[in-house]
Amino acid sequence: MNNSTTRSVCILSRWAVLGMLAAATLWGCAPIQPLPFDLVDKGRVFHGTLSPTDRRVEVDIGGKHFQGYYLLAAGTAYFQGGSWRRPYANDVSTSFVSNSARATMVADDGERFTCEFIVEDNSAIGECKSTTGQTYQLVTQSR
């Protein structure tokens, strides 16, 4: 290969790498599809959605529309290195997010609805309760 061919290949390689990085970045920013779920109570089934992109949750129960947000449990873990006499020299901390979630929703009339569930990939399972005392099982729909 001559010098100009080598230079052209290098320029094309750089653009190819930059193009792949741009595509990966845009793909990583694409919104995640809402996750449909069912609330089951004594043979009755109500439908809702979890939106992982903005952590919104919505469900319709008996003609009422509940909407709100959910949070995943998160925290900071500290690992102490070395002996107990030198507590700061080798300490390491890290932040984590678990798959344990809590949600709170409200209807237009002020009735509240709370849920505790576990999310894993495209699945969720847990329990929800209304302020009227009704309890529901939350399970994702299989599609």
Over residues 6-34, the pLDDT tens digits come to: 444 444 445 444 455 455 454 555 667 88
The span from the CA of 106 to the CA of 79, in Å, is 40
Q: CB neighbours (10 Å) of residue 101?
A: 19
The span from the CA of 127 to the CA of 103, in Å, is 10
pLDDT, residue 18, reads 45
Ranges of H-type helices in the chain = 3-29
Which residue's structure tokens are 């109500």? Answer: 46
The span from the CA of 98 to the CA of 104, in Å, is 18
Banded pLDDT at 107 (limits 50, 70, 90): very high
Q: What backbone torsions phi and psi does residue 34 show, to the nearest 5 degrees?
A: -60, 145
Banded pLDDT at 111 (limits 50, 70, 90): very high
The mean of the pLDDT values for the chain is 78
pLDDT, residue 15, reads 46
